[in-house]
Amino acid sequence: MRRAFRYLSLVVMTAAGASCGSDALRSSSSPMLLVINTLEAAPTGGHGANTYSGNLLSDVVVLVTTPAPCTTDNPCPTVYNDLGRVTLGSVPKNISIQPTTNNQVTVNRYHVDFIRADGHNTQGVDVPFSFDGSVTGTIPESGTVTLTFELVRHTAKEESPLAQLANNPSIIHTIANVTFYGQDLVGNAISVTGSMSVDFGNFGDQ
């Protein structure tokens, strides 16, 4: 009986492991997998503006000295959004099948979640609110597409907890999880999630 029980347990554990390993393949009816080749971000104002990198220093307020009436002696506090840039590709689930034009994938929506490694993840208190956005591009059956999207909104920097950073030296360290959604040309839904570090604070403007 003991041997039989051990054998039955092994069979159940093996089946469960196989199920978990194949969940990703069964999560969509599409014969393609959406993949993220690169995920980057850049501020649109202040230090490092429009310079993309794999992690983002998100400045909650920038002191602008031009144009008038802004001057060096009387700078204007200004809020900028931050942009993300992603390069997406697709690969067949069955590597022995050559993709066709029906396997092109059009991405049309994305979702952003901010989380903290310390587990303090209450939106509007510990991290910015999650949000959905639109971005559209089509991935050829054997190619890639690069899309630019809004990663940190202006409004997020005017709400808690980011608004409080304008007048104190604290920095909020987060991970941005970005999920892109789309479908192939025959209507199968498909998605993929990528992550990057985003640090919020009142950083130097020069």
In whole angstroms, what is the distance from residue 19 CA to residue 73 CA? 65
**Tokens read off for 146:** 């690069």
How wide is the angle at C-alpha 125 spanned by C-alphas 132 and 151, nearest 5°?
30
Fold of 29-201: Immunoglobulin-like (2.60.40)
Would you say 64 and 45 are in contact if contact means Cβ atoms under 8 Å apart? yes
The predicted model scores a pTM of 0.84
> pLDDT tens, position by position, for the chain (206 residues)?
444 434 444 444 444 444 444 444 445 688 999 999 999 999 999 888 999 999 999 999 999 999 999 999 999 999 999 999 999 999 999 988 888 899 999 999 999 999 999 999 999 999 999 999 999 999 998 899 999 999 999 999 999 999 999 999 999 999 999 999 999 999 999 999 999 999 999 997 76
